[in-house]
């Protein structure tokens, strides 16, 4: 019950502009009363559905409500779980008199205590105030009765934000584009997708004006029985999609859910390892320049096989130039998402891959520091790992880096206790390092302990 209340309070606050102020006692009271079903009443009304209401959070939001006009002319804003959308949509479209059963706080059913973005938008479109709010329980037409399943937290999550898998689209033909408002443009593609993008942000301008576009999009998993406003419109990221340093996760930045890819051509020159000794860079050569691309370690064998099969052939490389950690001042890389020849295409993991795995028994390793791995995060160099005796790479988490970074120097002996990483199927460990996550690091006789969570990478 406590978790459900927290969710409803959070959702309520998101719908109301709050700038630099505390949550008022009245707002807390509204949230409690909205959540306390034991004190809600059930009321029957006659009237007509006059408008569908979709969620506020993305351009691909679920159908989660409707505006109902009672026989006396008053408007009621009703909500229901997204999984009922397919059943409710035809009823909203009937525009005929029906009987509905609604539950809610007695006062709120007659006078809405707050207005969501969708509610305010509906009032503007209908040129009429909405008097009350409630939850839809039942719809009775002349022929049938439709029962609404009880609400749940999961009901109103968007399929896109649940998506953990992304795919790369190469050279999709642009049929037309139109200006929506301000800097926003909508591109209509031959493959059925529509891309919503803003000009004057990153290099979106070039893509908006292109005849063909390449981009990364999520593989969408929708709630069964739901309806979305559009299943094929993707909002393009203003900047980048960021992942962890070692490519084991992916996260849309700034709430965006897709991004354009740039393209260059070149001949594969060399595969290069990263600080862990794992192949994760591809150097290419064109007539005018040498360019290095970065990719997920788990794509190494696939890329190696591809460039061997197309030795000395010109490749088209689809990538996004971005930082590794989301900070603009950090080092930028050309993150690779696909390679193409005239006849063949290799789509990559795009930095969404299987989690790393480790040995179940920890072990001790000691040695002389022969290398230090620093990552530029915004304006600072952050310790990410050390190499011991030229054969072990020790990952250092941000939790412990601040404590040991000033103590660890090349030539100094340190000891660690931790778990050895098992290689992934698609990797190439060129330098042969044994890679460890430590739970303890001993430097100059002092032991530093870390709370290691082996369900995710550092």
| pLDDT tens digits for range 18-61 | 333 455 677 677 777 777 778 899 999 999 999 998 876 555 57
Dist CA 399 CA 402 (whole Å): 7
> Tokens for 22?
């505390």
Q: Classify residue 157 as exposed, middle or buried by CB count within 10 Å of its CB (0-12, 13-18, 19+).
A: middle
192-247 confidence digits (pLDDT tens)? 888 888 887 666 788 898 999 999 887 777 788 888 877 778 888 765 444 333 33
DSSP 320: E
Place of tokens 């030229």: 390
Place of tokens 């009937």: 94
φ, ψ for residue 5 (rounded to 5)? -65, -45
- C-alpha to C-alpha distances, 419 to 360, 370, 394, nearest whole angstrom: 7, 20, 10
Q: Are 413 and 440 a contacting pair, CB within 8 Å?
A: no
Q: Are 295 and 303 a contacting pair, CB within 8 Å?
A: yes
DSSP 228: B
Say if residue 7's pLDDT is above 60.
no
φ, ψ for residue 102 (rounded to 5)? -130, 145
Q: Which residues of 62-72 are buried (b: 16+ CB within 10 A; e: fewer)?
A: bbbbbbbbeee
Q: Which helix (H) or strand (E) holds 94?
A: helix 85-94
Dist CA 90 CA 63 (whole Å): 12
Place of tokens 């306390």: 36
Dist CA 16 CA 24 (whole Å): 12
SS3 85: helix
pTM (two decimals): 0.70
pLDDT in the model for residue 5: 43
pLDDT in the model for residue 29: 75
Q: Are 458 and 412 a contacting pair, CB within 8 Å?
A: no
Closest among 337, 272, 265, 274 to 304, alpha carbons compared: 272
Q: Are 270 and 283 a contacting pair, CB within 8 Å?
A: yes
Cβ–Cβ contacts within 10 Å for residue 288, how many?
Answer: 7
- Of all residues in the chain, the percent with pLDDT exceeding 70 is 80
Mean pLDDT of the chain: 81
Strand-pair partners of 62: 228
Closest among 403, 392, 398, 409 to 441, alpha carbons compared: 403
Strand-pair partners of 380: 377
148-194 confidence digits (pLDDT tens)? 987 554 444 444 444 457 788 999 999 998 988 888 888 999 998 88
């Amino acid at each position: 019950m406590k978790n459900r209340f927290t969710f409803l309070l959070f959702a309520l606050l998101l719908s109301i502009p709050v700038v630099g102020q505390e949550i008022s006692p009245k707002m807390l009271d509204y949230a409690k009363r909205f959540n306390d079903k034991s004190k809600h009443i059930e009321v029957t009304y006659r009237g007509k559905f006059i408008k569908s209401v979709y969620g506020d959070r993305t351009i691909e939001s679920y159908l989660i409500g409707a505006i109902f006009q009672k026989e006396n002319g008053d408007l009621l804003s009703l909500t229901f779980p997204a999984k009922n959308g397919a059943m409710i949509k035809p009823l909203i479209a009937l525009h005929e008199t029906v009987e509905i059963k609604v539950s809610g706080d007695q006062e709120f059913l007659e006078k809405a205590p707050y207005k969501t973005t969708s509610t305010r938008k509906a009032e503007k479109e209908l040129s009429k105030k909405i008097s009350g709010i409630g939850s839809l329980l039942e719809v009775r037409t002349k022929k049938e009765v439709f029962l609404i399943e009880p609400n749940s937290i999961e009901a109103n999550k968007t399929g896109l934000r649940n998506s953990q898998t992304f795919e790369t689209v190469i050279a999709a033909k642009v049929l037309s584009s139109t200006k929506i408002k301000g800097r926003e443009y909508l591109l209509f593609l031959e493959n059925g997708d529509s891309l919503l993008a803003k000009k004057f942000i990153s290099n979106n301008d070039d893509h908006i004006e292109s005849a063909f576009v390449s981009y990364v999009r999520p593989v969408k998993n929708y709630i069964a029985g739901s309806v979305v406003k559009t299943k094929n419109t993707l909002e393009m990221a203003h900047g980048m999609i960021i992942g962890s340093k070692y490519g084991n996760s992916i996260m849309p930045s700034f709430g965006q859910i897709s991004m354009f890819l740039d393209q260059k051509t070149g001949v594969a020159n060399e595969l290069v390892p990263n600080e862990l000794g794992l192949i994760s860079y591809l150097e290419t050569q064109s007539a005018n320049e040498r360019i290095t691309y970065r990719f997920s370690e788990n794509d190494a064998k696939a890329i190696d096989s591809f460039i061997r099969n197309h030795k000395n052939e010109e490749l088209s490389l689809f990538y996004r130039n971005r930082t590794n950690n989301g900070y603009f001042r950090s080092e930028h890389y050309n993150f690779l998402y696909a390679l193409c020849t005239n006849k063949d295409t290799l789509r990559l993991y795009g930095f969404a891959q299987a989690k790393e795995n480790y040995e179940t028994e920890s072990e001790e390793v000691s040695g002389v520091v022969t290398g230090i791995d620093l990552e530029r995060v915004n304006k600072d160099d952050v310790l990410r790992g050390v190499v011991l005796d030229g054969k072990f790479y020790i990952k250092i988490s941000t939790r412990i880096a601040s404590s040991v970074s000033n103590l660890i120097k090349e030539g100094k002996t340190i000891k660690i206790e931790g778990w050895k990483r098992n290689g992934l199927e698609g990797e190439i460990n060129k330098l042969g390092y044994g890679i460890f996550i430590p739970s303890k690091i001993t430097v100059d006789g002092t032991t530093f302990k870390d709370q290691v969570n082996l369900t995710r990478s550092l």
